Amino acid sequence: MEQPLADVKTALNGSDTDAIKSAMERLMTASQAFSQKLYEAAARDTAAAAGTSASGASTTGPTDEEVVDAEIVDEEG
């Protein structure tokens, strides 16, 4: 990110519009790649915080001891 940004600053000091456009395109490409890495890291952190294991099964869900099996019986009718 630093080099493409420096290239844009250098290009802006001149008057070559093609150089400015080219430098801006390289900066945009670098910015998009950087943003994608941030989103991927955030997704991994969110998944880890949610307690999902490598297999995708939740480790924070209810256990068998917490599940109640019940049947509703209507005695009035």
What span, in angstroms and rounded, lies between the C-alpha atoms of 7 and 31? 14
CA angle 60, 63, 65 (to 5 degrees): 150
Q: What is the mean pLDDT of residues 15-38?
A: 94
What was the pLDDT predicted at 38? 92
Give the DSSP per-residue string, 34-51: HHHHHHHHHHHHHHHHHT
What pLDDT band is residue 59 in, cutting at 50, 70 and 90?
low
3-state helix, strand, coil in the chain (%, to 5): 65, 5, 35
What pLDDT band is residue 48 in, cutting at 50, 70 and 90?
confident
pTM over 0.75: no
Q: What is the mean pLDDT of residues 37-62?
A: 73
Greater confidence (69 vs 42) lies with 42
Measure the N-to-C terminal CA separation of the chain; round to a whole number of Å. 73
